[in-house]
């Protein structure tokens, strides 16, 4: 201890004598640390905000982020090779060395690292592919957003990089004359249509109307006055292409739509998923290929003859299996432009190389269609942004690969947002719940990639303000972006936030209902049917039910408030009935069952009476078996 104390005293005395030197060293060290921190922060800020610099000056992260940290990937989610940074507007495209849309990047830099510090090593990446036209698809059938809300979405979409809108009016169009009853009773007026189109024009967005002209004509075929146009009498899915009345009906639809869209250069005539074809007595005698292609030729002919400046677009799925000889026979390549739609991540699985080669030999140009909502489940109320981003980025890779095969390349991409899977389906994700997904997919398709450098743009246009996330979103842990954007104030933000609350409340309610009905043995359907349980156990099972019930019912009221600026009450009521009301009914049924079970104070001896309905399944009580035995 004496030696240690002596040594400590000596060190203290020495430091005190040279205190000026030590203090100077400390100050210099602090200054060096501050300078290094400032340099790193400035470098990161430049990486995020200066999107125009490419090449040797600034090497940024050029990889797609489908989940995880800003420069890392989840297993099995390797990025496509097309996600680089776009050349600046001033860059001479001839400097890329050839006519290809690709270029090779210089060597890797510090920002081309995984989070563990290791270098990316998947070979040189190509320049990003940015489609010329980038459409957002608005599916309006059966649930019309208010024009005031749609105008906000058009402005937002333009800011995020959209160049046009694919408007699927369906029964929301103000049909007139013989088509009057095709319009829903809450359809838009002609004045509202003009107001929306004027807003698109003010935002420099091209508008392409979409009407169905073969399959998915349920909006009209469900009605008695158009029942005679059905291919199958008991189904309203597809019209009969062999009837002259069908062609007259389609021509009337086209004329009415084009009257209100005089400036459009395109008309999408649908023609996807024609599930019923060649089944009526008139059509049975003709090959299905001829029925389909002949009808397409007639409809496209109507468009081109009556509106010479308008090019028809069709969905491509019905063309994929058709032989080139049939397509050439009907000159389909001269009549329409196909829009190839795939909403899953693996585009080539649904449209393999052979189909692309067939299309390139027949069509001078082609469109792509991805999705930002309405693709992964008919009853979902929130889109999985991770999957939709992946789908869009894969499409950019496919477009970069396949575009050069076409004489005029790709016209563009439509980022679809389905509201219903068909006319009879319930609502899937509503538009306000999908705004973050729309923003992410639009920014990705407008830049040709998605990474942390685009964070500021997303935060700005989603109006995050002081609540902007300080780090790039992690789609593995936050696939719906609830954690990232719930505090932002984009149009419809309150409903987006409500879906997160609904998800939590429904999980809790489902767990409670499962526990009461299936996992515990005192309030099962058997207990209820026989009114046989113990009140003490029922009380235990029902402890959390009032709180869960209150949470669910309060969500119904909140849904009305959060959607009142977006939809009419008919649409709000439908959504609540589909997504919240069933859970309320289940909980109320449990409440009634609990009251009945607790009211009983005397119980019978076992065995309990056999359920009589079991006899139709061959299950009978012992008394029933004895009564049916033959006499001895």
Active-site residue list: 273
d(CA 208, CA 172): 16
Query: For residue 576, which phi and psi values (nearest 5 degrees)?
Result: -65, -45
Name the H helices within 93-231. Answer: 147-160, 190-202, 218-221
d(CA 337, CA 541): 61
- For the chain, the 3-state helix, strand and coil shares in percent, each to the nearest 5, are 50, 10, 40
Bridge partner list, 266: 311
Query: For residue 569, which phi and psi values (nearest 5 degrees)?
Result: -65, -30
User: DSSP string spanning 349-392?
Assistant: HHS-HHHHHHHHHH-S-EEEEEEEESSS-TT-SS--HHHHHHHH
Give the rounded distance of the alpha carbon of 388 from its chain centre: 6
Bridge partner list, 341: 369
Q: Which of 489, 495, 515, 483 is nearest to 555 (CA)?
A: 495
d(CA 565, CA 563): 5
User: DSSP string spanning 293-329?
Assistant: HHHHHHHHHHHHHHSTT-EEEEESGGGTTS-HHHHHH
As to burial, measured by CB atoms within 10 angstroms (0-12 exposed, 13-18 middle, 19+ buried), residue 508 is middle
The owner of tokens 């998915």 is 216
Contacts of residue 301, Cβ cutoff 8 Å, sequence gap at least 6: 335
Q: Please give the C-alpha separations between residue 628 and each of 240, 542, 617, 621, 631, in angstroms, as whole numbers.
A: 57, 44, 16, 11, 9
**Tokens linked to 133:** 């036209």
Reduced to 3 states (helix: H, G, I; strand: E, B; else coil), residue 230 is strand
The owner of tokens 């600034």 is 58
What kind and span of H or E run contains 4? helix 2-17
d(CA 265, CA 298): 19
Reduced to 3 states (helix: H, G, I; strand: E, B; else coil), residue 133 is strand
Contacts of residue 456, Cβ cutoff 8 Å, sequence gap at least 6: 48, 49
d(CA 472, CA 98): 35
Bridge partner list, 315: 339
Give the rounded distance of the alpha carbon of 484 from its chain centre: 17
What kind and span of H or E run contains 410? strand 410-417
Q: Say if residue 607 is preceded by a cis peptide, omega within 30 of 0.
A: yes
As to burial, measured by CB atoms within 10 angstroms (0-12 exposed, 13-18 middle, 19+ buried), residue 297 is middle
d(CA 456, CA 467): 12
User: DSSP string spanning 516-535?
Assistant: IIIISSSSSHHHHHHT---H
């Amino acid at each position: 201890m004496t030696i240690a104390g002596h040594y400590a005293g000596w060190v203290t005395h020495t430091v005190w004598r040279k205190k000026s030197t030590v203090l100077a060293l400390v100050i210099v060290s602090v200054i060096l640390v501050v300078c290094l921190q400032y340099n790193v922060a400035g470098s990161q800020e430049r990486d995020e905000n200066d999107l125009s610099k490419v090449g040797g000056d600034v090497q940024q992260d050029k990889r797609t982020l489908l989940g995880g940290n800003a420069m890392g990937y989840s297993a099995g989610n390797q990025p496509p090779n097309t996600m680089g940074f776009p050349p600046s507007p001033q860059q001479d495209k001839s400097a890329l060395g050839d006519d290809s849309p690709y270029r090779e990047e210089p060597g890797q830099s510090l920002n081309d690292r995984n989070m563990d510090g290791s270098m990316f090593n998947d070979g040189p990446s190509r320049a990003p592919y940015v489609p010329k036209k980038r459409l957002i698809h608005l599916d309006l059938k059966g649930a019309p957003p208010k024009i005031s809300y749609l105008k906000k979405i058009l402005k937002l979409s333009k800011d995020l990089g959209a160049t046009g809108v694919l408007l699927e009016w369906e029964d929301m169009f103000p049909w007139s004359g013989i088509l009057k009853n095709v319009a829903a009773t809450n359809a838009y007026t002609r004045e509202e249509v003009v107001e929306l189109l004027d807003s698109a024009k003010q935002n420099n967005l091209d508008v392409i109307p979409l009407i169905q002209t073969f399959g998915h004509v349920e909006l009209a075929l469900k009605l008695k006055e158009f029942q005679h146009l059905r291919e199958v009498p008991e189904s309203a899915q597809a019209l009969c292409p062999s009837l002259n009345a069908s062609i007259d009906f389609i021509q009337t639809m086209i004329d009415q739509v084009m009257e209100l869209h005089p400036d459009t250069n395109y008309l999408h005539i649908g023609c996807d998923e024609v599930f019923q074809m060649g089944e009526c007595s008139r059509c049975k005698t003709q090959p299905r290929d001829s029925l389909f292609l002949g009808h397409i030729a007639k409809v496209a002919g109507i468009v081109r003859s009556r509106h010479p400046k308008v090019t028809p677009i069709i969905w491509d799925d019905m063309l994929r299996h058709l032989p080139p000889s049939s397509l050439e026979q009907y000159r389909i390549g001269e009549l329409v432009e196909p829009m190839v739609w795939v909403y899953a991540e693996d585009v080539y699985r649904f449209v393999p190389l052979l189909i692309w080669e067939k299309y390139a030999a027949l069509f001078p140009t082609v469109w792509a269609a991805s999705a930002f909502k309405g693709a992964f489940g008919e009853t979902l109320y929130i889109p999985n942004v991770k999957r939709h981003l992946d789908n869009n980025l894969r499409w950019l890779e496919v477009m970069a690969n396949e575009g050069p095969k076409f004489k005029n390349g790709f016209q563009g991409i439509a980022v679809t947002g389905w509201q219903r899977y068909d006319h009879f389906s319930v609502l899937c994700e509503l538009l306000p719940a999908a705004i973050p997904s729309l923003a992410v997919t639009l920014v990705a398709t407008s830049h040709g990639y998605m990474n942390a450098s685009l964070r500021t743009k997303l935060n700005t246009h989603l109006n995050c303000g002081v609540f902007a996330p300080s780090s790039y979103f992690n789609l593995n842990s936050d696939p719906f972006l609830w954690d990232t954007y719930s505090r932002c104030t984009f149009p419809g933000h309150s409903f987006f936030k409500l879906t997160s609350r609904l998800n939590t409340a429904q999980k809790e309610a489902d767990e409670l209902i499962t526990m009461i009905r299936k996992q515990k043995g005192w309030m099962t359907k058997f207990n209820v049917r026989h009114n046989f349980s113990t009140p003490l156990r029922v009380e235990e099972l029902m402890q959390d039910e009032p709180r869960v019930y209150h949470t669910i019912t309060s969500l119904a009221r909140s849904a009305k408030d959060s959607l009142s600026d977006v939809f009419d009450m008919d649409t709000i009521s439908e959504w609540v009935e589909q997504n919240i009301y069933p859970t309320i009914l289940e909980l109320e049924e449990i409440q009634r069952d609990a009251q009945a079970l607790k009211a009983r104070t005397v119980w019978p001896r076992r065995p309990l009476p056999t359920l009589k309905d079991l006899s139709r399944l061959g299950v009978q009580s012992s008394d029933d078996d004895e009564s049916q035995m033959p006499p001895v």
